[in-house]
């Protein structure tokens, strides 16, 4: 029997927490995770199965909604578009693709069995 | 310095153009502008007057953008004609006794119809054809008439004849000159026009005048003509030319021409430098009175420049091109330049086909320069020929008059035109000016080209750069409608497969993007791929569709149960009230006659919907690009004016089309009588009851760019109505662009309303069976998305705030009180992160 893969996230350097079974994530969609200090992360998987996590807070509106955006590819790089006003954020760097002055935090993630 | 006052007398097309020109030049900000006009309504498009009879309403014809007067602080008084001018005191007096002092007075009083002084001309049943009020009176009288005559076979006379014929009357045209439209066309053109018009069933009498209107008991019974013959007619419309309205000017001692018209100089100043005259009331410095709108506009711009102190050396009106292109009774007629060949030594090239009612003549000089021409029956080339006037065309004249397919093909496009060629003669816009713009919308906005008679729009489109890439987004080079066809043909069910097979090379294997994913998701849903949130489809939907609710600014959602036709029982109202109370939701009545419940957290949605579904509610699809509501008035059942049961029809339509995914949202309404309380003409598809059935309107919109819907079909039975709406919606879904409402789509659709009617009423493309089958499949396969979701624990799993803490609500979704309800607490959202939020 295949052991389920777990998605883990590093909320602070040197610490890891379990978020969910990787199978809970529909490729191309995200989910929100509550971090121990009250921050929220948005976790995603893409078609190839790679996982990403960025801060869940949309810096343009302040709402914790980035996990509900749509994942896409621009110039070969993965991004999520905010569901509120559609600004896009690079899932690997947190950089906003539509406003150079804005970025969100990125969290390290890993898949373990 | 005190603010100067500019008084404009008359608010017709030229008057309105003058006001716009003042606003463009900032004059409205530094001067008080007062407009006094006789007609009961602001300026409207008199050139298109006849289109009233093809379904345009007086509002459609308005030339004044909503809010224009308010925005520029212009005081407009309608139904308030000026009756006297005191040039000493510099005041005008209006009919109500209102006196307005002016620094500058601009007369734009237009013209009045000339009625020949024949006996009986004032009898009941005699009309003129000039204002919307004239049209309304003609329409009313025609209801009891069977035969009508129009006196005058010129441009307006033919318009009037078309109107009478459209009202179902046997129609005669009486023209004193030996041919129709004697001013614009020559003998050959007149003959072609005559044949075509007679073939339509109108009776034309040329070369004869009207001697007497025969009456009995004060009403028209016939006409006696100068050739001795008599016509039995019930009504007479005089359309024998117009005369400048210069009476006010005469009475206050301004110079007027011998044959009428207020004499003005090149800057449109009258003999009193504080008074200007523009448009059809003015006798221009070249000794002519211009009865066309384009010269009037030029005069308006001239005076606006003078008043703005912007008049330069080249400002001034010295005469105008009398070129015209019209569609009269469905026949294209155009004349331009030296149409009658009056220049010395000029030659002509003529093509005439009396079978087809086509006549084309070009006038050229001995060196081959084009001087002018007449086109009847086929004026397609007018847009190119008129700007070429005065130049030597790049191809021989005979090639320019031969119909397509005869002789060698003519490779003459707008690119052959010189830069200074005037493309829009209504607004005097050159090819160069158009070249500065990127799109037709921009051209219209910046130069006004194409907003007058519209005859130049096709040429403008050809001058604009082709958009380099029409593709949907960075992932697909196809448009939405092309993708729809691909998905339909391939019976596609997977976005990823479609991207990998039909995406751009650079996008294959990727994720797609926020543009193409929902678009393809909507196409797959339109093509009836079942529940929209299973499998891969879940990853395509925008968050609203993904959570079957509407995301609000603080991350909470709103919930809108369907209330078909706006009809609801007290029991159901109570349930909505109880749910809102129990979950602390903010409630608001929507514009679509239902109730929106705001402030639900994502994890509350299933419980809220469980109660709503148990009470018999279903999804209202407020979150989807789908049918929203079919609004209705109360209709015949209760209303004393109603002629059909509008509520019943609205419910039927709403239930039929609920859940239908489309390129954009769809709104509808049904009104039970012509009073139109449901505002159906502002909807994507609107239905208005008649005594005989239903009228169907399409392509209406409110919102940022309101558009009155177009009448598609009249007096339909229930079944006919539904069949046409089925076809209309499916044709729209098939061919519209992403996020393109029906109003924009219809404007863009090549051939416009006529084409739409051909396709879905006459089935010209043979598509209708397929469109109906698609709709039938939608109707039979419809399932309530919320009921389906609640039935399936797997589907419910997405409704949590946190995947790792499903019991914990999102602490950042908070509310504060306002007017006895809640509103989002936005202060909480301004805190960067929420350290400590949980420990509180």
| Chain segment B788-799, per-residue pLDDT in tens | 999 988 889 889
A38/B801 touch (CB, cutoff 8 Å), yes or no: no
Q: Does residue A32 or residue A85 have the better pLDDT?
A: A32
Mean pLDDT of B88-105: 95
Residue B220 in contact with residue B233, Cβ under 8 Å? yes
Q: What is the token pair recorded at B7?
A: 């008084």
What whole-number distance in Å separates Cα of residue B184 and Cα of residue B154? 8
Q: Which residues of B touch A51 (CB under 8 A)?
A: none
Q: Looking at the complex, report in whole angstroms how far the Cα of residue B441 sits from the nearest Cα belonging to chain A.
A: 25
CATH for B126-240 (3.40.50.300, 3.50.50.60, 1.10.10.10, 3.50.7.10): 3.50.50.60
A63/B829 touch (CB, cutoff 8 Å), yes or no: yes
H or E element, residue B559: strand B557-559
- Model pLDDT for residues B784-830, shown as the tens digit of each residue: 999 999 998 888 988 999 999 988 999 999 999 999 999 999 887 77
Mean pLDDT of B539-566: 94
A46/B511 touch (CB, cutoff 8 Å), yes or no: yes
Instruction: Reduce the secondary structure of B652-671 to three states and give it as a string.
Output: HHHHHHCCCECCCCEEEEEE
Per-residue confidence at B838, pLDDT binned at 50, 70, 90?
very low
- Model pLDDT for residues B423-443, shown as the tens digit of each residue: 887 788 888 888 888 777 778
What are the strands of the beta sheet with A88-90, ordered from one edge? A70-74, A77-81, A88-90
Q: Looking at the complex, report in whole angstroms how far the Cα of residue A64 sits from the nearest Cα belonging to chain B.
A: 6
Q: What is the mean pLDDT of chain B?
A: 89
Q: Looking at the complex, report in whole angstroms how far the Cα of residue B730 sits from the nearest Cα belonging to chain A.
A: 27
pLDDT of A83 higher than 70: yes
B716 contacts: CB under 8 Å, gap ≥ 6 = B693, B694, B695, B696, B724
* Residue B344: per-residue pLDDT: 84
Strands B203-206 and B32-36: unpaired
B513 in contact with chain A, both atoms CB, cutoff 8 A: yes
* Residue B656: per-residue pLDDT: 97
- Model pLDDT for residues B281-291, shown as the tens digit of each residue: 999 998 888 88
Lowest mean pLDDT among B556-565, B615-624, B757-766: B757-766
Q: Does residue B129 or residue B382 have the better pLDDT?
A: B129
- B734: three-class secondary structure by DSSP: helix
C-alpha count within 13 angstroms, C-beta hemisphere, residue B122: 1
A73/B475 touch (CB, cutoff 8 Å), yes or no: yes
* Residue B61: per-residue pLDDT: 86
CATH fold of B413-466: Arc Repressor Mutant, subunit A (1.10.10)
- A55: three-class secondary structure by DSSP: strand
What are the strands of the beta sheet with B347-353, ordered from one edge? B324-328, B331-337, B370-376, B358-364, B347-353
pLDDT of B327 higher than 80: no
Mean pLDDT of B267-278: 95
What whole-number distance in Å separates Cα of residue B495 and Cα of residue B489? 14
Per-residue confidence at B532, pLDDT binned at 50, 70, 90?
confident
Angstrom distances, CA of residue B605 to CA of B271, B612, B616? 77, 10, 16
B810/A40 touch (CB, cutoff 8 Å), yes or no: yes
- B163: three-class secondary structure by DSSP: helix
What whole-number distance in Å separates Cα of residue B383 and Cα of residue B573? 60
pTM (2 d.p.): 0.55
What whole-number distance in Å separates Cα of residue B496 and Cα of residue B768? 31
Lowest mean pLDDT among B382-386, B413-417, B492-496: B413-417
Nearest to B116 by CA among B226, B205, B197: B226
Q: What is the token pair recorded at B1?
A: 């310095």
Q: Residues of B numbered 439-498 whose beta carbons fall under 8 angstroms of chain A's beta carbons: which are they?
A: 474-475, 496
Q: What is the token pair recorded at B233?
A: 């007619």
Candidates A57, A62, A83; nearest CB to B543: A83
* Residue B835: per-residue pLDDT: 40
* Residue B514: per-residue pLDDT: 92
Nearest to B113 by CA among B165, B68, B75, B150: B150
B493 contacts: CB under 8 Å, gap ≥ 6 = B524, B529
Domain with CATH 3.50.50.60 in chain B: 5-112+244-307, 126-240
Lowest mean pLDDT among B304-313, B391-400, B532-541: B391-400
Other beta carbons within 10 Å of B168: 12
Nearest to B716 by CA among B633, B642, B649, B627: B649
Beta-bridge mates of residue B557: B551, B600
Per-residue confidence at B413, pLDDT binned at 50, 70, 90?
low
Q: Give the sign of the dihedral formed by CA B40, CA B167, CA B685, CA B597.
A: positive
- B561: three-class secondary structure by DSSP: strand
What whole-number distance in Å separates Cα of residue B187 and Cα of residue B452? 29
Question: Residues in chain A whose beta carbon is closer than 8 A to a beta carbon of chain B?
Answer: 17-20, 24, 26-29, 31-34, 37-40, 43, 46-47, 55, 57, 61-65, 68-74, 76, 78, 81, 83-84, 86, 88
- Model pLDDT for residues B295-307, shown as the tens digit of each residue: 899 999 999 999 9
Residue B361 in contact with residue B381, Cβ under 8 Å? no
- DSSP structure string for B323-388: -EEEEETTEEEEEEESTT--STT-EEEEEEETTTTEEEEEEE-TT--EEEEEEES--TTHHHHHHH
Instruction: Reduce the secondary structure of B455-493 to three states and give it as a string.
Output: CCHHHHHHHCCCCCCCCCCCCCCCCHHHHHHHHHHHCCC
Domain with CATH 3.30.390.30 in chain B: 321-412
Nearest to B417 by CA among B400, B406, B430, B403: B430
Candidates A26, A68, A83; nearest CB to B538: A26
Q: Which residues of A touch B812 (CB under 8 A)?
A: 40, 63-64
Per-residue confidence at B1, pLDDT binned at 50, 70, 90?
low
Q: Residues of B numbered 528-557 whose beta carbons fall under 8 angstroms of chain A's beta carbons: which are they?
A: 536, 538-540, 542-544, 546-547, 551, 553-555
- Model pLDDT for residues A41-80, shown as the tens digit of each residue: 999 999 888 999 999 999 999 999 999 999 999 988 999 9
Lowest mean pLDDT among A90-94, B301-305, B404-408: B404-408
* Residue B174: per-residue pLDDT: 94
Angstrom distances, CA of residue B35 to CA of B76, B248, B304, B743? 5, 16, 15, 33
Q: Does residue B585 or residue B159 have the better pLDDT?
A: B585
CATH fold of B5-112+244-307: FAD/NAD(P)-binding domain (3.50.50)
Q: What is the mean pLDDT of chain A?
A: 91
- Model pLDDT for residues A3-31, shown as the tens digit of each residue: 568 999 999 988 999 999 988 898 999 99
A32/B803 touch (CB, cutoff 8 Å), yes or no: yes
A86/B474 touch (CB, cutoff 8 Å), yes or no: no
Angstrom distances, CA of residue B702 to CA of B564, B653, B682? 20, 20, 6
Mean pLDDT of B67-95: 94
Candidates B475, B555, B808; nearest CB to A34: B808
Q: Residues of B numbered 803-832 whose beta carbons fall under 8 angstroms of chain A's beta carbons: which are they?
A: 803-805, 808, 810-813, 826, 828-832
- B607: three-class secondary structure by DSSP: helix
Task: Decide: residue B78, CB within 10 A, 0-12 exposed, 13-18 middle, 19+ buried.
Answer: middle
Q: Which residues of A touch B512 (CB under 8 A)?
A: 28, 72-73
What whole-number distance in Å separates Cα of residue B532 and Cα of residue B540? 9
Residue A44 in contact with residue A30, Cβ under 8 Å? yes
Residue B246 in contact with residue B261, Cβ under 8 Å? yes
Residue of chain A with shortest Cα separation from B801: A32
* Residue B192: per-residue pLDDT: 85
Angstrom distances, CA of residue B375 to CA of B102, B175, B324, B357, B416? 46, 21, 10, 11, 21
- Model pLDDT for residues B446-495, shown as the tens digit of each residue: 888 877 666 677 778 777 776 556 788 889 989 998 899 898 888 888 99
Strands B429-430 and B126-128: unpaired
pLDDT of B534 higher than 90: no
* Residue B410: per-residue pLDDT: 46
- For domain B321-412, the CATH architecture is 2-Layer Sandwich (3.30)
Helix axes B480-490, B495-502, angle to 10 degrees: 110
What whole-number distance in Å separates Cα of residue B413 and Cα of residue B416? 6
pLDDT of B746 higher than 70: yes
Long-range contacts of B284-290 (CB under 8 A, 24+ apart): B284/B317, B284/B318, B284/B319, B284/B320, B285/B317, B285/B318, B285/B319, B286/B318, B286/B319, B287/B257, B288/B319, B289/B244, B289/B257, B289/B260, B289/B261, B290/B320, B290/B322
Q: Does residue B319 or residue B165 have the better pLDDT?
A: B165
Residue of chain A with shortest Cα separation from B794: A24
Candidates B801, B804, B838; nearest CB to A38: B838
Strands (E), B3-81: 5-9, 32-36, 74-77
B830/A27 touch (CB, cutoff 8 Å), yes or no: no
What domains can you pick out in chain A, each with its CATH number? 6-112 (2.102.10.10)
Per-residue confidence at B837, pLDDT binned at 50, 70, 90?
very low
Residue B729 in contact with residue B759, Cβ under 8 Å? no
What whole-number distance in Å separates Cα of residue B158 and Cα of residue B812? 70
* Residue B392: per-residue pLDDT: 82
pLDDT of B406 higher than 70: no
A69/B810 touch (CB, cutoff 8 Å), yes or no: no
pLDDT of B115 higher than 70: yes
- Model pLDDT for residues B124-177, shown as the tens digit of each residue: 999 999 898 998 999 999 989 999 999 999 888 888 898 898 888 999 999 988
What whole-number distance in Å separates Cα of residue B25 and Cα of residue B27? 6
CATH (residue range B625-782): 3.30.413.10
Angstrom distances, CA of residue A109 to CA of A42, A106, B52? 11, 9, 67
Q: Which residues of B touch A64 (CB under 8 A)?
A: 555, 810, 812-813
Nearest to B93 by CA among B102, B83, B103: B83
What whole-number distance in Å separates Cα of residue B403 and Cα of residue B590? 56
B802/A17 touch (CB, cutoff 8 Å), yes or no: no
B778 contacts: CB under 8 Å, gap ≥ 6 = B528, B657, B659, B660
């Amino acid at each position: 029997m295949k052991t389920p893969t777990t998605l883990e996230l590093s909320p602070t350097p040197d610490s890891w927490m379990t978020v969910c079974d990787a199978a809970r994530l529909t490729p191309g969609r995200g989910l929100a995770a509550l971090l121990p200090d009250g921050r929220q992360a948005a976790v995603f998987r893409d078609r190839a199965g790679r996982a990403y996590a960025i801060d869940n807070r949309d810096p343009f509106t302040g709402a914790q909604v980035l996990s509900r955006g749509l994942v896409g590819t621009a110039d070969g790089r993965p991004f999520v578009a905010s569901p509120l006003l559609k600004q896009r954020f690079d899932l690997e760097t947190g950089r906003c693709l539509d406003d150079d002055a804005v970025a969100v935090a990125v969290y390290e993630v890993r898949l373990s069995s | 310095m005190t603010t100067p006052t500019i008084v404009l007398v008359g608010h017709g097309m030229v008057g309105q153009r003058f006001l716009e020109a003042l606003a463009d030049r900032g004059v409205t900000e530094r001067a008080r502008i007062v407009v006094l006009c006789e007609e009961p309504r602001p300026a409207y498009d008199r050139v298109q007057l006849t289109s009233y009879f093809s379904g345009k309403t007086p509002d459609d014809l308005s030339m004044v953008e909503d809010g224009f007067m308010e925005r520029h602080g212009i005081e407009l008084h309608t139904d308030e004609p000026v009756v006297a001018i005191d040039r000493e005191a510099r005041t005008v007096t209006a009919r109500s006794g209102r006196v307005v002092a002016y620094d500058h007075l601009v007369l734009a009083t237009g013209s009045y119809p000339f009625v020949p002084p024949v006996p009986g001309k004032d009898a009941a049943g005699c009309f003129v054809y000039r204002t919307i009020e004239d049209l309304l009176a003609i329409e009313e009288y025609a209801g009891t008439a069977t035969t009508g005559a129009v006196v005058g076979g010129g441009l307006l006379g033919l318009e009037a004849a078309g109107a009478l014929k459209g009202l179902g009357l046997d129609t005669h045209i009486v023209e004193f000159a030996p041919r129709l439209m004697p001013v614009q066309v020559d003998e050959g053109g007149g003959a072609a026009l005559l044949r075509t018009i007679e073939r339509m069933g109108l009776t034309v009498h040329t070369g004869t005048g009207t001697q007497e209107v025969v009456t009995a008991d004060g009403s028209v019974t016939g006409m006696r003509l100068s050739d001795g013959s008599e016509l039995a007619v019930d009504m007479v419309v005089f359309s024998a030319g117009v005369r400048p309205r210069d009476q006010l000017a005469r009475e206050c001692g301004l110079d007027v021409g011998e044959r009428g018209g207020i004499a003005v100089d090149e800057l449109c100043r009258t003999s009193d430098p504080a008074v200007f005259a523009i448009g059809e009331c003015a006798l221009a410095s070249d000794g002519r009175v211009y009865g066309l709108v384009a010269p009037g506009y030029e005069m308006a711009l001239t005076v606006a420049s003078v008043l703005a102190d912007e008049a330069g050396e080249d400002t001034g009106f010295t005469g105008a091109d009398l070129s015209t292109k019209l569609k009269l009774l469905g026949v294209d007629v155009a004349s331009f330049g030296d149409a009658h060949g009056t220049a010395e030594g000029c030659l002509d090239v003529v093509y005439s086909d009396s079978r087809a009612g086509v006549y084309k003549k070009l006038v050229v000089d001995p060196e081959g320069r084009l001087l002018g021409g007449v086109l009847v029956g086929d004026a397609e080339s007018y847009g190119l020929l008129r700007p070429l006037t005065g130049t030597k065309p790049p191809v021989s004249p005979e090639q320019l008059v031969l119909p397509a397919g005869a002789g060698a093909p003519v490779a003459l496009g707008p690119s052959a035109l010189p830069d200074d060629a005037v493309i829009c003669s209504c607004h005097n816009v050159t090819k160069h000016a158009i070249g500065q713009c990127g799109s037709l919308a921009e051209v219209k906005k910046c130069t006004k080209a194409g907003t007058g008679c519209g005859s130049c729009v096709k040429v403008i489109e050809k001058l604009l750069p082709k958009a380099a890439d029409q593709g949907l987004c960075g992932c697909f080079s196809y448009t939405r409608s092309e993708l729809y066809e691909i998905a339909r043909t391939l019976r596609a069910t997977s976005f990823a497969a479609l991207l990998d097979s039909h995406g751009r090379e650079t996008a294959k294997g990727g994720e797609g993007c926020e543009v193409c994913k929902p678009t393809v998701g909507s196409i797959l849903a339109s093509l009836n791929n079942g529940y929209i949130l299973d499998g891969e489809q879940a990853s395509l939907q925008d968050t609203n569709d993904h959570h079957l609710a509407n995301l609000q600014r603080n991350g909470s959602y709103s919930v809108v149960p369907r209330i078909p036709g706006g009809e609801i029982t007290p029991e159901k109202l109570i349930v909505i009230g109880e749910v809102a109370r129990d979950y602390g939701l903010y409630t608001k009545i929507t514009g679509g006659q239902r109730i929106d419940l705001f402030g639900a957290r994502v994890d509350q949605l299933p419980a809220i919907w469980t109660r709503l579904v148990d009470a018999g509610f279903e999804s209202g699809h407020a979150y989807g690009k789908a049918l929203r509501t079919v609004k209705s008035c109360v209709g015949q059942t209760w209303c004393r004016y109603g002629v059909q049961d509008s509520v019943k029809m609205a419910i039927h339509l709403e239930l039929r089309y609920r859940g239908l995914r489309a390129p954009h949202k769809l709104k509808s309404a049904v009104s039970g009588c012509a009073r139109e309380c449901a505002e159906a003409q502002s909807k994507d598809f609107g239905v208005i009851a008649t005594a005989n059935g239903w009228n169907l309107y399409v392509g209406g919109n409110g919102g940022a760019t309101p558009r009155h819907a177009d009448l598609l079909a009249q007096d339909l039975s229930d079944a006919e109505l539904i069949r046409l709406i089925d076809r209309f919606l499916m044709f729209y879904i098939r061919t519209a662009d992403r996020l393109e409402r029906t109003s924009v789509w219809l404007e863009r659709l090549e051939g416009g309303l006529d084409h739409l009617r051909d396709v879905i009423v006459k089935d010209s493309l043979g598509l209708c069976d397929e469109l109906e089958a698609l709709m039938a499949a939608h109707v039979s396969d419809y399932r309530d998305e919320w009921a389906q979701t609640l039935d399936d624990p797997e589907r419910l799993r997405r409704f949590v705030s946190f995947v790792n803490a499903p019991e914990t609500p999102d602490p950042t979704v908070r509310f504060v009180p306002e007017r006895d309800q809640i509103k989002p607490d936005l202060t909480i959202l301004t805190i960067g992160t929420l350290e400590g939020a949980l420990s509180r």
